[in-house]
């Protein structure tokens, strides 16, 4: 520590390389942190958009779910002859997701590109699991109409002007219908 203080107080310019090294180290650290935050912002935005698209689908099921849940005996069921059959609407979640995020379809992927054509991120593999409220359930507080979804997200990672392996994660969301009387 004394040696560093002596170098910094020296007037001959020996401290300049140390100052340059510290400055470059701080720039590298700041660049890494900003890239991490960019990845987190993209992932959060995609998660929010998927959740919004799934919530829209859950809302599309309102007309089938509301009456049964309000009466306290079922979710989205319709009478069919001597029995009841589930009445679920999956909607087009990809179409809603494309309009929310401004995605374009390229082979099996839905991609977002910058104005100069560079890939910002791409999503694929959307899976939606709609769980109907049970028929004639005793505990209606815990049994509700729910939709869980997962989608794969890939974001290119760059550091120091070079492309690194992309961040690929599975984004999970959940939405449910809870009646308010």
Q: Which domain holds residue 87?
A: 2-177
Q: Bridge partners of 127? A: 150
pLDDT at 122: 94
- Please spell the DSSP secondary structure of 63-85, one letter per residue: HHHHHHHHHTS-SSEEEETTEEE
Dihedral (CA of 107, 153, 132, 77) sign? negative
**What distance in Å separates the CA atoms of residue 107 and residue 80, rounded to the nearest whole number?**
40
Q: What is the pLDDT along the chain (181 residues), one digit of tens a residue?
A: 788 777 667 767 666 788 899 999 999 999 999 999 999 999 999 999 999 888 887 776 656 555 544 454 455 555 566 665 665 656 678 888 889 999 999 888 999 998 998 899 999 999 988 777 666 555 555 666 777 899 999 999 988 778 889 999 999 998 776 665 5
The confidence score (pLDDT) of residue 75 equals 54
Domain count, the chain: 1
Cα distance from N-terminal residue to C-terminal residue, the chain:
70
């Amino acid at each position: 520590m004394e040696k560093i203080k002596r170098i910094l107080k020296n007037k001959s310019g020996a401290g300049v390389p140390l100052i340059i090294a510290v400055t470059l180290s701080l720039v590298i650290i700041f660049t890494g942190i900003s890239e991490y935050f960019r990845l987190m912002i993209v992932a959060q935005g995609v998660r929010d958009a998927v959740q919004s698209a799934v919530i829209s689908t859950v809302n599309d099921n309102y007309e089938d779910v509301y009456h049964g849940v309000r009466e306290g005996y079922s979710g989205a069921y319709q009478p069919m002859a001597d029995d009841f059959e589930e009445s679920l609407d999956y909607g087009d979640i990809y179409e809603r997701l494309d309009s929310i995020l401004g995605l374009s379809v390229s082979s099996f992927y839905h991609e977002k590109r910058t104005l100069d054509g560079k890939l910002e991120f791409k999503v694929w593999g959307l899976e939606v699991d709609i769980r109907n409220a049970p028929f004639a359930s005793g505990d209606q507080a815990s049994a509700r109409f729910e939709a869980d979804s997962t989608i794969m997200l890939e974001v290119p990672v760059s550091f120091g002007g070079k492309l690194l392996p992309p961040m690929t994660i599975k984004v999970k969301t959940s939405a449910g219908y809870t009646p308010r009387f």
